[in-house]
């Protein structure tokens, strides 16, 4: 079985790496935060000294990093993947970044006969832990076919969308729909609560109809408990939405609702809630209406 390099062991990367190890893959790991590396090494992984070192030891490298600049640095920068990888190496970038940057990085790697697919994920920390992420892939079909068994360890669904960059385009579309859905849920439930109706009963009444959704079922029970501990932080959703806006504007596509939700999330960031889960969008509406949407006691 080929040895896999894993670069980026944050809130998503760590459980994804652990799932690969549970499936008997050998991992060489690296993260700038030493404590993140220590936790995975304790589970049996080998520690890499740098992205370059990881690439020199592995035929397949996975990157799971915050944004475009981090991926570019880890792959193309000093002591990066490109400096250590041999011809024929495959890079699977599972970060959520700009589709344009995915294409640019892929083009540079191709000069050294290194193949790449972009494979961003959706599902947050809970699905990263249980290995049921939705994985959206862009890149050559033969590379997708060869790496699909690895991706299936981490994902409940793995879909080839198109050429390189298509995975991140699909992820941006996903993030728009999730953000707008949470905002709609928030508006509706704040209205119901302010009107004196039990929000939990409203949730149960609507979840079986057309308004029901995976987002509603994932976020509403947590909102009712006032639990906004991060599964996917507001600040990271802002990053994704800004990438969506940049991509859309470069294509001449206005994003009216997305722009509104970005400003709501920016207001929450200013209010000290950047590290809250994106389900915490409801707090903006609660503050505006001076009411809290919570489970009623008794």
83 and 186 share one domain = no
92 and 122 share one domain = yes
Confidence of residue 297 (pLDDT cuts 50, 70, 90): confident
Confidence of residue 214 (pLDDT cuts 50, 70, 90): very high
43 and 87 share one domain = yes
57 in active site: no
Instruction: Please indicate, yes or no, if residue 53 is contained in any of the structural domains.
Output: yes
In this predicted model, what pLDDT tens digit does every residue of 37-81 receive, in sequence order? 998 999 999 999 999 999 999 999 999 999 999 999 999 999 999
In which domain, by residue range, is 66 found?
4-163
What pLDDT is recorded for position 12? Answer: 94
- Average pLDDT score over residue span 90-114: 97
119 and 60 share one domain = yes
177 and 204 share one domain = yes
Q: Are the C-beta atoms of residues 176 and 160 closer than 8 Å to each other?
A: no
Domain boundary among 139, 163, 187: 163
pLDDT at 10 over 80: yes
CATH code for the domain of 211: 1.10.1040.10
Phi/psi for 140 (5° steps) reads -60, 140
65 and 173 share one domain = no
pTM confidence score? 0.92
Domain boundary among 123, 142, 163: 163
How many structural domains does the chain have? Answer: 2
159 and 173 share one domain = no
Catalytic residue among 14, 115, 127, 171: 171
Confidence of residue 2 (pLDDT cuts 50, 70, 90): confident
pLDDT at 167 over 90: yes
What pLDDT is recorded for position 298? Answer: 67
What pLDDT is recorded for position 78? Answer: 97
């Amino acid at each position: 079985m080929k040895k896999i390099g894993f670069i980026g062991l944050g809130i998503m990367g760590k459980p994804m790496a652990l799932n690969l190890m549970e499936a008997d893959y050998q991992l060489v790991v690296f993260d700038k935060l030493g404590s993140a590396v220590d936790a995975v090494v304790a589970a049996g992984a080998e520690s890499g000294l740098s992205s370059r070192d990881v690439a020199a030891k592995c035929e397949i490298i996975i990157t799971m990093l915050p944004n475009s600049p981090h991926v570019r640095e880890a792959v193309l920068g000093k002591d990066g993947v490109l400096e250590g990888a041999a011809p024929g190496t495959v890079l699977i970038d599972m970060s959520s970044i700009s589709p344009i940057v995915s294409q640019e990085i892929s083009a540079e790697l191709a000069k050294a006969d290194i193949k790449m697919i972009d494979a961003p994920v959706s599902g947050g920390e809970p699905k990263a832990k249980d290995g049921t992420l939705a994985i959206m892939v862009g890149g050559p079909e033969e590379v997708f076919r060869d790496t699909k068994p690895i991706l299936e360890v981490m994902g409940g669904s793995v879909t080839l969308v198109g050429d390189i960059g298509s995975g991140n385009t699909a992820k941006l579309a996903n993030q728009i729909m999730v953000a707008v859905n949470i905002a709609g849920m928030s508006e509706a439930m704040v209205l119901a609560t302010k009107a004196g109706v039990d929000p939990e009963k409203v949730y149960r009444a609507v979840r079986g109809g057309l308004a029901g959704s995976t987002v509603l079922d994932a976020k509403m029970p947590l909102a009712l408990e006032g639990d906004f501990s991060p599964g996917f932080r507001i600040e990271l959703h802002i990053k994704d939405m800004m990438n969506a806006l940049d991509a859309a504007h470069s294509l001449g596509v206005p994003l009216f609702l997305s722009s509104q939700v970005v400003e709501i999330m920016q207001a929450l960031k200013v209010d000290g809630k950047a590290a809250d889960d994106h389900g915490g969008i409801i707090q903006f509406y609660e503050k505006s209406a001076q009411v809290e949407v919570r489970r009623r006691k008794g």
